[in-house]
């Protein structure tokens, strides 16, 4: 089953709650102002494995729980990430106004 997660990931990045951490390391800090904390919904973490990565565009394909996810990160933040790396996605979303 394929799930287009790019919208959720982009929304999460917009509000500063998505982060990626290489398994075995501490997750990247998800900093967000306390004023926005109440607006963030559905936060959770998903372990996965990088199956494809485009360092120029920031697009990353991840397999997690048997699902194929496509997420986006600022290219500089994934400079050290490579295909096959185990990662943890930290996701959340907010309603658009």
CATH code: domain of residue 51: 2.40.50.100
User: Residue 64's Cα: distance from chain center in Å?
Assistant: 12
Q: How many CB atoms lie within 10 A of CB 6?
A: 14
Residue 1 counted as domain residue:
no
22 pLDDT higher than 90:
no
For 32-80, the pLDDT digits (tens) are 454 555 588 899 999 999 999 999 999 999 999 999 999 999 999 999 9
- 72 part of a folded domain: yes
Alpha-helix residue ranges (DSSP H) falling in 27-79: 34-37
Q: Residues 85, 22: contact at Cβ < 8 Å?
A: yes
Say if CB 56 and CB 74 are below 8 A apart: no
Flag whether 21 is in a domain.
yes
Structural domains in the chain (count): 1
The owner of tokens 């997420």 is: 71
- On whether residue 36 sits in a domain, the answer given is yes
CA atoms of 19 and 73, how far apart (whole Å): 9
pLDDT for residue 90:
94
Q: Residue 12 has which token pair? A: 């999460």
| Residue numbers of the domain that contains 89 | 6-93
Residue 19 lies in a domain: yes
Residue 87: its pLDDT value, please?
A: 97
Q: At residue 18, does pLDDT exceed 90? A: no
């Amino acid at each position: 089953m394929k799930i287009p997660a790019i919208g959720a990931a982009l929304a999460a990045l917009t509000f500063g709650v998505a982060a990626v951490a290489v398994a075995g390391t501490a997750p990247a800090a998800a900093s967000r102002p306390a004023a926005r904390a109440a607006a963030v919904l559905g936060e959770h973490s998903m372990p996965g494995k990088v199956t494809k990565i485009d360092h120029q565009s920031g697009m990353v394909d991840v397999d997690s729980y048997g699902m194929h996810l496509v997420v986006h990160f600022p290219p500089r933040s994934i400079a050290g990430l490579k295909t096959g790396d185990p990662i943890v996605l930290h996701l959340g979303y907010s309603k658009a106004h």
